[in-house]
Amino acid sequence: MTTVYGMARSGNCYKVQLLLEQLGRPYRWVEIDSAGGQTRTPAFLAKNPNGKVPLLECDDGRLLAESNAILCWLADGTHYLAADPWQRAQTLQWLFFEQYSHEPYVAVARFIRGWLPEDHPRRAELPRLLEQGYRALDVMERHLDGRAFFVEAGYGVADIALFAYTHAAADGGFDLAGYPAITGWLARVRAQPGFVEQAC
Amino acid sequence: MTTVYGMARSGNCYKVQLLLEQLGRPYRWVEIDSAGGQTRTPAFLAKNPNGKVPLLECDDGRLLAESNAILCWLADGTHYLAADPWQRAQTLQWLFFEQYSHEPYVAVARFIRGWLPEDHPRRAELPRLLEQGYRALDVMERHLDGRAFFVEAGYGVADIALFAYTHAAADGGFDLAGYPAITGWLARVRAQPGFVEQAC
């Protein structure tokens, strides 16, 4: 059976859980306390030298890291990842946007506010993280205006990846009140068959 | 003809140039001074609302952003991107590693040292960027030990993406002397048919 090494509170890990639930695929979840150093043990580093979750282990022992690479691998051949080359290219564009222009701000702001003490020096990063995170939300809002999902082919891994931290953006201090297109899209994602909320 | 909007000094843009040269595909290069604000004009934002280069424009006007999504789109169906699903998954793993764990440190250190004045406050970021950049280089060194290229299928877009800033790591203050596997791999990339050095 497929094994996911993940931390339930992590949006990157939730992506993989959400897709597996929607695919109806059985899997084993091994909870890894990334914040507590469990991705830096010799045993874990032997599986993923980059020391990050999520990590997928196939039943034959093959290993795959990087949440969005895992999404594409699991979704390939299903309607969650279009077969059409241009639709796939658009999907990848949004997956890279998520990891470069969205997650490092929206997710990191959530981490600093939710995991670190009130007087932690990294709180000084928050104004810049909010500014950059709002810039990513602006790009999403503009794209979703008049569109149901990120890629024309319909709901798929680009939506799953961007939902993971956008749905929890308030935890990072973001106010989505001025983002009606994003708010509508969040509701459409939640209405998808097999949708599950993040556990924590 | 395919148009690339890019900045020659940018590693992310060089990736696209290198692949197009190796594919032998004709293209038009439109130089965009990203550092000088040309990605923030209304005309450019109409093409890429995220305000970044590289940006690919197909001859029918379709637009694709994100360097690594562009690489996959251009390489699809060629030996620079394997058709085998597992090899493709591994390729994507390394492409996401590059954008999340490598570029934000190795490329940003190069930018701060090469583009900003000596007394710029962002110089204070350099120690952390070096620490995190060396961590990415350690992951690459470990993976390349005993391997010719990043993915078993052979030289391809994962190598192109990781070459783009690793070959210029010294500009960011990184010393590759302790990285024999990376150094050997850089030489193997340079020996590939159609290889071109970055212009600037």
pLDDT interval class at A99 (50, 70, 90): very high
Mutate to test the interface with B, among A2, A96, A140 (most CBs of B within 10 A): A96
Alpha helix ranges (H) inside A38-125: 42-47, 67-75, 85-97, 108-115
Asked whether the predicted pLDDT for residue B69 surpasses 90, the reply is yes
> In whole numbers, what is the pLDDT of chain A averaged over residues?
97
Asked whether the predicted pLDDT for residue B199 surpasses 90, the reply is no
Residue B71: enclosing H or E segment and its boundaries? helix B67-75
Count A/B contacts: CB-CB distance under 8 Å. 85
pLDDT interval class at A2 (50, 70, 90): very high
* Domain residue extents for chain B: 2-75, 85-190
Name B115's Cβ contacts closer than 8 Å, sequence gap at least 6. Answer: B35
The predicted pLDDT at position A132 comes to: 98
Asked whether the predicted pLDDT for residue B200 surpasses 90, the reply is no
Pairwise CA distance, residues A14 & A193, whole Å: 16
A192 touches chain B (CB under 8 A): no
The reply to whether residue A142 touches residue B99, judged by beta carbons under 8 angstroms, is no
A68 interaction partners in chain B (CB closer than 8 Å): 92, 96
Asked whether the predicted pLDDT for residue B54 surpasses 90, the reply is yes
Segment B140-170, tens digit of pLDDT: 999 999 999 999 999 999 999 999 999 999 9
Percentage of chain B surpassing pLDDT 70? Answer: 100
Segment B77-128, tens digit of pLDDT: 999 999 999 999 999 999 999 999 999 999 999 999 999 999 999 999 999 9
A17 touches chain B (CB under 8 A): no
Between CA B128 and CA B149, with CA B159 as vertex, the angle to 5 degrees is 110
- Average the pLDDT over A28-34 and give the result: 97
The predicted pLDDT at position A199 comes to: 84
Contact B5/B64 with Cβ under 8 angstroms?
A: no
Asked whether the predicted pLDDT for residue A35 surpasses 90, the reply is no
For the domain with range B85-190, which CATH number is right: 3.40.50.970, 1.20.1740.10, 3.40.50.620, 1.20.1050.10?
1.20.1050.10
Contact B7/B32 with Cβ under 8 angstroms?
A: yes
Identical fold between B2-75 and B85-190: no
B69 interaction partners in chain A (CB closer than 8 Å): 89, 92-93, 95-96
A2-75 has which fold? Glutaredoxin (3.40.30)
B45 touches chain A (CB under 8 A): no
Asked whether the predicted pLDDT for residue A158 surpasses 90, the reply is yes
Pairwise CA distance, residues A183 & A12, whole Å: 20
Asked whether the predicted pLDDT for residue A113 surpasses 80, the reply is yes
Pairwise CA distance, residues A22 & A16, whole Å: 10
- Average the pLDDT over A17-30 and give the result: 98
Strands B55-57 and B63-65, how do they pair? Answer: antiparallel
The predicted pLDDT at position B170 comes to: 98
- Average the pLDDT over A48-75 and give the result: 98
The predicted pLDDT at position B20 comes to: 98
Pairwise CA distance, residues A20 & A14, whole Å: 10
The predicted pLDDT at position B35 comes to: 85
SS3 of residue A5 by DSSP: strand
Between CA B22 and CA B30, with CA B28 as vertex, the angle to 5 degrees is 115
